[in-house]
Amino acid sequence: MGGSVFKECTGLKSVIFSKSLDKIYGFSECTGLSSINISGKEGFVIPDTVKEIESRAFAYCTGLLSVVLPDSVKAIRRGAFNCCTGLAYVYIPASVCEIDEYAFSGCTALSNITVHPDNPFFTSENGNLYSKDKSVLLKYYQAQPGEMNIPETVTVIGDGAVRNCVAVTSAVLPNSVKKIKHGAFCGCSGLTTVVVPDSVTEIGSFAFSGCTSLTSIILPASLTMIGNWLFSDCFALTSIIIPETVTHIGEDAFRGCTALTSVHIPASIECIDAYVFYGCPAVITVHPDNPAFKIENGELVEKL
């Protein structure tokens, strides 16, 4: 049984499977589903033979409130529960060894992820999902309001870890953090300020894209690249200081930053990709010692 066999079956509330089933997918947009359990005679009951919850298996099941997975499940694939906006609780058993990126992306009501204490790969604390040693933040508690708080054990903010977490208003990252991965804070529309420590050497593309309330961010002096679409559609961003360590600004990095008034290109910049400032009214200045770019007739151009 595969594909999208039950897609958009909005009245579907109860499913009984045979004991031979080892993978589940094809229930996206089944908005009538309210719970996934491991036992019972009603609701969506997953048999203990299932090993994988496949990509987008339950995407956009907006009526889904809770998920309890059986001990047989080993993998939760990319976007498996994407945009399950009513989902508040998830239980991950000891058997799970793989959780792909964006598995719970867009679950804006998610308030508690619980991992079995014997799971050797993952753990949870205060409802957040981490790697077992708490070095990687995999999923941040979506419903938690105010300032983001993560332990100083964290070195990596994972792909989409805080994505669409509209309740977070500020983030002061600890000095332990070294990498902020692709789309980490994408769509955090309530986020107004971010302080990134100098320990961070990598910020992935789209990391702060769509943070529509972001007014200021302090970038680390250790940064060498501003990635593709990094601050795109940050409509409230008024200023940015590009560190003198940055050599490359990726495509569409500041696209749609309509409140940005000025940007200074330091001498270190060697490459500026296409559409970096598209739709951005900022006055651009270039350090006179920059070997690659200059301002000519009010426009940013390459030096010949």
Rounded CA-CA distance 160/56 in Å is 15
- Tens digit of each residue's pLDDT (9 = 90 or more) over 25-69: 888 888 888 877 766 655 677 888 999 999 999 999 999 999 999
Note whether residue 77 is domain-resident: yes
Task: Work out how many domains the chain is built from and give that number.
Answer: 1
Tell me what the pLDDT averaged over the chain comes to.
Answer: 91
Instruction: Say what the pTM is.
Output: 0.90
Q: Which of 242, 230, 225 is nearest to 286 (CA)?
A: 242
Would 37 be classed as within a structural domain? yes
Distance CA 281, CA 259 (A): 7
Model pLDDT, residue 3: 53
Query: Which two three-digit tokens encode residue 259?
Result: 């409140």
Host domain of residue 37: 1-110
Cα–Cα distance, 243 to 144 (Å, whole number): 32
Region at 140 (left for phi over 0; alpha for psi -120 to 50; beta for the rest): beta
Q: Per the domain annotation, does 270 fall within a domain?
A: no
In a domain, 105, yes or no: yes
Q: What is the pLDDT of residue 5?
A: 64
Please report whether residue 219 resides in a domain: no
Mean predicted confidence (pLDDT) in 94-101: 96
Beta bridge partners of 76: 53, 99
Instruction: Tell me if 32 is assigned to some domain.
Output: yes
Looking at the predicted structure, is the pLDDT value of residue 270 above 90? yes
Spatial separation of the C-alpha atoms in residues 239 and 199, rounded to whole Å: 22
Sign of CA dihedral 126, 131, 136, 141: negative
Q: Letter for the amino acid at 143?
A: A
Whether 222 is covered by a domain: the verdict is: no
Instruction: State both tokens at 168.
Output: 């977070």
pLDDT confidence bin for 109, thresholds 50/70/90: confident
If phi > 0 it is left, if psi is from -120 to 50 it is alpha, else beta; for residue 171 that is beta
